[in-house]
Chains A and B, each alone.
Chain A
Amino acid sequence: MEPFTVLDAAAAPLDMSNVDTGLIIPARFTRKPRRSGYQDYLFHDLRFRKDGSEAPGFVLNREGFRDARILVADRNFGAGSSREQAVWSLLDYGIRCVIAADFGEILEANALKCGLLPVRLDAESCLHLRGLLHAEPGARIRVDLAAQRVTGPDGVAYGFDIPPFRKTCLLGGLDDIDITRQHDAAFLAFETAYRQRYDWLFDAE
């Protein structure tokens, strides 16, 4: 995982609530090989017309927003299917932080594990930030993970919460398997007792 420390980058406003993972990446692209990159599938059916040309109205197709590395969304970003490809498509496009009023639960967990920072701000602050971005396409937002602070283009700063463990992992680029391996003795002792206590679960072996 690539460490996340401070991100000072252009941000794009996404004026939609309940953007589900199917909109972030339609199911038909979720079988593509991981190594070839998922950037082209991000918001595919919003970004592109049926003939494959760009949909001019979509925010990421507009000047100033194309190179956004931060998205400011609305309520319930990333609800629906558990597809982690949604997070990959955001990351591969270059987005490392999504600011929203709240997130679909699986997406939020996946994001934290893959190095995409989900920042929860209240809906009013999200609306305010989107307004600033609309007024000045290309405007930057600064996200400081260590300080847990987002600073908008107008200099107004907002604090945000993140589970301390996830923060440490993101700052250091550590993933879960690295952590779990530190507990292997506890795992093996637990498993031995579990297999004795619930032996019927292992009858078929």
Chain B
Amino acid sequence: MAETMYDKIWNAHAIVERDDGQTLLYVPRHIVQEGSRFAFEFLQDRGLTVRRPRQMLASPQMSISTRRRDIEEITNPDQRLTVELLIENTRKFGVTHYGLDDPRQGIVHVVAPELGFVQPGTVLIIGDSHTCTAGAMGTLAIGVGATDVLHVLATQSIWQRKMRSLRITVDGILPEGVTAKDVILTIVGRIGANGGKGHVFEYAGSAIRAMSVEERLTVCNMSIEAGARSGMIAPDDTTFDYLAGRQFAPRGASWDRALRYWRSLPSDEAARFDREIHIDAATLAPMVTWGTSPEDVVPVDGRIPDPRAEPDAERRAHMEKTLGYMGLAPGTPVTDIAVDQVFIGSCTNARIEDLRAASAMIRGRRAVVPAFVVPGSTQVKHMAEAEGLDVIFRKAGFGWGEASCSMCVGMNGDTVGAGKRCVATISRSAAGRQGRGSRTHLVSPAAAAAAALTGRITDIRKMGA
């Protein structure tokens, strides 16, 4: 029978199926970060041990300072303890840890593909909802909570129910100024914040095929924002070229055997998906979120929607409340919105291509509002510095930080003030996400840089040189 890629990966990892439809999946790849402290705590409380530590990686990402690579820089004792516990627990159980002193440290969703640790046709588990990012490698990448992390630590397996499949086909050529971020914001807007619930997405079509791996990672990263636990893209030559030579990638004869498996993964021509959505790439525009849900999205040349025009009462109530929180009036042109600060970073958009796109907007101009750039990993940071991107950012008045989740989640003290409006390249604009009372607008890296230069939300298609 014709199978989807999801079917194939699922079948290759299914150990036993219970009669209630729950399947025990083998977990070849598992990554922990400082948030996993609770799972380690529970593990030890129960007298258990890590079953396959060599199939794991660890790196701190959220609690660490963007100022200096030094644990002493973490002033909040709770945050500092989590970083210390990650060191202690990984040492105790023999897990490879890329800590603050390691050039491979970074946001785990950036590090996993960058090191070739995540490979096509595998299952990746991380205790973090943006695990779906790695689906861009042709992987079933699932974000879980601490109880499931505990289960994976103790058993190297996870109970899952088979999801329905939803294929999102984006065909055509993206217009100038429209990025992978705009594609996924459009998709989230169309599907709705919980519309993908119970589904695994497969992104397909010529526009997706034309994307680099880094762009695909941006797309898959926000699958969770449409309610899907996982989103994936079939591996192809772009994927294989990206993987070749990376630290954990197979070599020699192993590579050839791996490649044969990887080429068998794409969904069969005749495979049936439970749902299908088609998007014409040529119709897309740069997108901006205006509300506290990623589904609250409009084209940058549009206006803030008017709740009075919304027929659905529940949606109308959400819109009214959201506009109040965001301090926005219906009908306002999006490009009239003045911003207080800009953040370029996160597992959504802080890889090298993102930083290149952002720095390319600068062209000798200066930021007129505070702007902060935080690379997604230490490797990305070093690469950017080798290319001189840090100098371009600094000269333009942008801050340049050490790799961290930073202002995307605001745990390390990098936050947006109450009532302040931040244009950010991150994935969530929830109330208080970037700090209590913070107002977030999600955009692409180039659009974020442009907002820093103009002090307002900006249509990069109209941004002169």
Contact = CB atoms under 8 A, between A and B. Distances in A.
A106 B229 contact: yes
Contacts of B29: 201
Given A26-B436, A80-B129, A176-B159, A163 B26 contact: no
Given A75-B314, A180-B151, A163 B161 contact: yes
B38 A163 contact: no
Contact of B250 (A45, A80, A183, A200): A200
B231 interface: no
A102 to B, nearest CB: 7
B227 A187 contact: no
Interface stretch (B203-211, B298-306, B337-345, B426-434): B426-434
Nearest to B149: A84
B318 A17 contact: yes
A62 interface: no
B431 A31 contact: no
B436 A205 contact: no
B194 A177 contact: no
Given A17-B318, A177-B155, A201 B18 contact: no
A163 B19 CA distance: 11
Interface stretch (A131-139, A152-160, A191-199): A191-199
Interface string B18-49: 10111010101100000101100110001010
A114 B147 contact: yes
Nearest to B28: A201
A87 B38 CA distance: 13
B325 to A, nearest CB: 11
Contact of A79 (B38, B128, B193, B436): B193
Nearest to A83: B145
Interface of A: 17-18, 20, 22-23, 26-28, 30-32, 34, 45, 50, 74-76, 79-84, 87, 102, 104-106, 109-110, 113-114, 123, 163-165, 175-177, 179-181, 183, 186-187, 190-191, 194, 198-205
6 contacts: A30-B35, A80-B430, A81-B428, A110-B145, A199-B257, A201-B250
Interface of B: 13, 15-16, 18, 20-22, 24, 26, 28-29, 35, 37-38, 41-42, 46, 48, 54-55, 63, 76, 78-79, 81-82, 119, 121-122, 127-129, 143-148, 150-151, 154-157, 159, 161, 193-194, 197-198, 227, 229, 247-248, 250-251, 254-255, 257-258, 261, 292-293, 314, 317-318, 409-411, 428, 430-433, 436
